[in-house]
Structure 1
Amino acid sequence: MAVHEHPHRSSGFRLPIFRRHRTAPASESAVSARSDTHTARAYVFASLRLLTGFVFLWAFLDKTFGLGYATRSGNAWIDGGSPTKGFLGGVAAGPMESTFHSWAGDAWADWLFMLGLLGIGIALVAGVALRFAAVAGTVMMTLMWVAEWPPARHLSDGSPSMSTNPFAEYHLVYAIVLIALAVASAGDTLGLGKAWAKLPLVRRSRWLR
């Protein structure tokens, strides 16, 4: 509250005039806080989307060109190597052991796996078709989780398996992340999600969002 003096004509002294400062209503402050929280959440999900997309794209590039990380030079897909032979051929337990062995190294399995990595990676980085990417990615991650069947402690050659947790294995974590990104419409921030949703085909087929 501010005090302002006003001159009095007859007495020559000034009378104080009290004026009340306007303060923002509590409702406006609450709306502003909710808006800030929503913005922060949108950017967190967008960052998670971009990082996850890079994981899939990097896996595709490394297996295709043999960049020396998970795939050694000379074993790349373009050099005649198989992206699925080593992984599926090394399955040592689980309900799909024989099935995975029969798939290992088949051309259709290699192409499907690599196109899946590429497609999911591009969708996540661009922020489009997140629902489709979530479904495809969840199927892929679930199959890879089964391939590293939790009770299996070692692979067929006696080396330790990559699975170190009986349930919360990293493939399942990736699957949940993909679903969360689709539910949160994470492609709308730092992505092309809004523009993608306006396309006639996407508007007619909501599952393409």
Structure 2
Amino acid sequence: MTTTASRPTSTPAATAVTAPRGGEDVITSVAARRTTAALRIAVGFVFLWAFLDKTFGLGYSTASEAAWVNGGTPSQGFLQFAATGPLQDFFVSIASPASDVLFMLGMLGVGLAVVLGIGLRVSAVAGSLIMAMMWLAEWPLAAGSSNPVVDYHVVYAIALVVFALVFAGDTWGLGTWWRKLPIVQKLTWLR
């Protein structure tokens, strides 16, 4: 870069890599786009990892004998035994093999979509719904919790919505390619 009359100028090559983008981009700073992309991938991996660990019992939050492939019930145990408070009866009543399938499909779908940067609007709705249901199942949060209102479920839900609103899949993701697909151009809620 050179300076002319105290105003920086850039060569075209430097501009292509570091210049702010405009148009449809909500976040125009390169560093902010990359940081948001890194956060998107990390949050997506949280969902994807939960799916993998609960499916195969990788020994982190799910022991191998409790794995879904070994007959474990990924959502039923949580709904029947971790649910507390005024909504406990509701959550116990929905615990079933169907809740296992829906939960696992949700975790896989949201995880893949967010990591890949595609379908962020759908994953924002689905992931936020999953997080809201899990938050409500544990509400009111236990005494001794680090925060009586906002826990990681709320933070992940907000992050998913932000990713959709700022087109976070366009950086380090397949969002730009995805939005050019004819079906996505026709049905913009798939974006």
Same fold (TM over 0.5): yes
Over the aligned positions, Cα root-mean-square deviation in angstroms equals 2.2
Alpha-carbon distance in 2 for matches of 1:111, 1:24: 64
The match for 1:35 is: 20
TM alignment of 1:50-129, pairs within 5 A: 50-91=41-82, 93-104=84-95, 106-129=96-119
Query: Would you say 1:150 and 2:140 are equivalent positions?
Result: yes
The alpha carbon displacement at 1:205 in A equals: 1.0
Single out whichever of 35-44 and 190-199 deviates more from structure 2.
35-44
Query: Would you say 1:23 and 2:4 are equivalent positions?
Result: yes
Query: Would you say 1:166 and 2:151 are equivalent positions?
Result: no
The alpha carbon displacement at 1:150 in A equals: 2.3
The alpha carbon displacement at 1:94 in A equals: 2.8
The match for 1:175 is: 157
Q: Which structure's CA Rg is the greater one?
A: 1
The match for 1:192 is: 174
Alpha-carbon distance in 1 for matches of 2:109, 2:185: 21
TM-score by length of 2: 0.85
3-state SS in 1 of match to 2:66: coil
Unaligned runs of 5+ in 2: 22-27
Deviation beyond 6 Å, 4+ runs, structure 1? none
The alpha carbon displacement at 1:59 in A equals: 0.4
Unaligned runs of 5+ in 1: 1-21, 154-159
Contact 1:93 1:152 (C-alpha < 8 Å) held by counterparts: no
Alpha-carbon distance in 2 for matches of 1:34, 1:192: 21
Cα distance change, pair 167–23 in 1 and its aligned pair in 2 (3 A): same
The alpha carbon displacement at 1:25 in A equals: 6.3
TM-score by length of 1: 0.78
From 112, 136, 140, give the equivalent of 2:126: 136
Q: Percent of pairs identical after alignment?
A: 53
Alpha-carbon distance in 2 for matches of 1:124, 1:92: 27
Q: CA deviation digits over 1:61-99, x for unaligned, max 9?
A: 000000000001111001011001221112453332111
Quick one: higher RCO (CA 8 Å, sep 6+), 1 or 2?
2
Cα distance change, pair 126–28 in 1 and its aligned pair in 2 (3 A): same
